[in-house]
Structure 1
Amino acid sequence: MLKNFNSYYKPASDCVPASAETIQQYESKVPASLIEIWKTTGFGKYNDGLIEFVNPADFENNLWTWLGREVPNYVPFAISGFGELFYYRKLTEEDEDVCLIDIQYRKIETLVWSMTGFLEDLLTDEEDRNVWLRESLFVEAVKQNGKLEKHEVFTFAPILALGGAEEIDYLQKGNAQVYQELVFQMTS
């Protein structure tokens, strides 16, 4: 089902398939393609953390903070290696999309109109990976600073909106949830 995604993204050895309870909690809110990842390779880092599929429960509070309200049909499902938050929106029975909260510049971007398009097209396109995941900088950061742990991301210090730069010298490691909250407070 996810031929392009599976050929490009390699799960870390510590990825954990989602529990039956988690699957049951979200299966009516997210598409089968995402459930497939959760059931097979599971939650965790892919390609050394270029993207991390997360348990939505771990990031719902951060999503609600950034959106300013709780929206039951919006489900956070992944983070980039730099802390951006990806979430799925089930808009109607037929309409869906995948959005990104660009925490650095306080922007919400609608990336694609389906989860399959996100997994099979956007995540496997080199130009999109460099735009949305900062892949070139990420690869350099892993070489210099080592691999990321669960929910750990590379943080910009200072954050980009406050004068940081997308350069290796401005990067540190930190917890994604804490970083997302900190950036929200600093840019409010």
Structure 2
Amino acid sequence: MPDTIAVQPFIDTFPPDAGTRVPDADFITYGEGQLPPALIELWHSHGLGWYGGGRVALVDPGTWMPVLQTWFGSGVTSVPFAVTSFGHIYHYDRVNGADRIQCLDPHFQHNAIVSEDGTAFFAEHLTGSTSHLADLRELHKAARDAQGELAMDEVYYFEPILALGGQVNLDNLQKGNGPEHVADIHRQIAARQYS
């Protein structure tokens, strides 16, 4: 396990919300062979749930895996582990022995590598000025004021969806089941492309 100091910048910037829960030992043991040590340390010390006043959640990969399969096919090898309040999915795999953390932005149909080190992802990327969390800070506050706090696996979103011409406007803002909504974005885009 990494020294907890390594991920302390993340905890300082995004302290765990009241509802975080440490998963059971079997859950953690299952994750130990598949996910970065920094994430396992966060599971051990603080748990799954929302951090930073509902800005980012450490999620159960099993709940969000069907979403990645919808977007990338059943052969996808990366594992979803964190989600922003607007449904950006962070997913992890190892390539040639090195960490790779990607972010799926479903609203603009973009997937990019954001870090090649699990500890740096938490301590530098998420806390940095170029992450989705930094970009969405004010919008998150406005969304929370308008719609209330998110339950686990809920996200804020806009209807109509941004990928099909929707607008970032609080009048269009909704909240609901994150895995269902993010998968539905892909289905709506595909239906439009093939109609």
Do they fold alike, i.e. is TM over 0.5? yes
Q: Is the 8 A contact 2:37 2:118 kept in 1?
A: no
2:169 corresponds to 1:167: yes
- Decide which of 10, 14, 18 is 1:9's aligned counterpart: 14
For 1:69-80, what aligned pairs fall within 5 Å after superposition?
A: 69-72=74-77, 74-80=78-84
Q: Which amino acid aligns with 1:113?
A: E
Q: Which residue of 1 aligns with 2:160?
A: 158
Q: Are 2:189 and 1:184 aligned?
A: no
The one of 116, 121, 145 equivalent to 1:118 is 121
Q: Give, in angstroms, the shift of residue 166 of structure 1.
A: 2.2
Q: Which amino acid aligns with 1:110?
A: I
Name 1:103's counterpart in structure 2: 106
Q: Distance in 2 between matches of 1:168 and 1:125?
A: 26
The correspondence for 2:32, drawn from 14, 20, 27, is: 27
Alignment partner for residue 92 of structure 2, among 79, 84, 88? 88
Partner of 1:144: 146
Offset of residue 118 of structure 1: 1.3
Residue 48 of structure 1 deviates from its aligned partner by 2.3
Q: How far apart, CA to CA, are the structure 2 residues paired with 1:80 and 1:35?
A: 19
- Deviation string, structure 1 residues 68-113 (Cα, Å, up to 9, x no partner): 13334x11101110112110111132x1111011111222111111
Q: Structure 2, unaligned stretches of length 5 or more?
A: 1-5, 191-195
2:184 is paired with a residue of what secondary structure?
Answer: helix
**Match of residue 3 from structure 2:** none
CA distance in 2 between partners of 1:104 and 1:33 (Å): 28
Distance, in Å, in 2 between the alignment partners of 1:130 and 1:157 is 23
Number of aligned positions between the proteins: 184
For 1:155 and 1:42, the matched residues in 2 are separated by 25
Cα distance in 2, alignment partners of residues 38 and 46 from structure 1: 12
Q: Which residue of 1 aligns with 2:55?
A: 50
CA distance in 1, matches of 2:144, 2:52: 11
How far is the alpha carbon of 1:182 from its aligned partner? 1.1
Q: What does residue 130 of structure 1 align with?
A: 134
Once residues 128 and 165 of structure 2 are traced to their aligned partners in structure 1, the CA distance between those partners, rounded to angstroms, is: 29
Query: TM-score, structure 2 length as denominator?
Result: 0.89
CA deviation after TM superposition for structure 1 residue 130, in Å: 3.0
RMSD value, Cα: 1.4
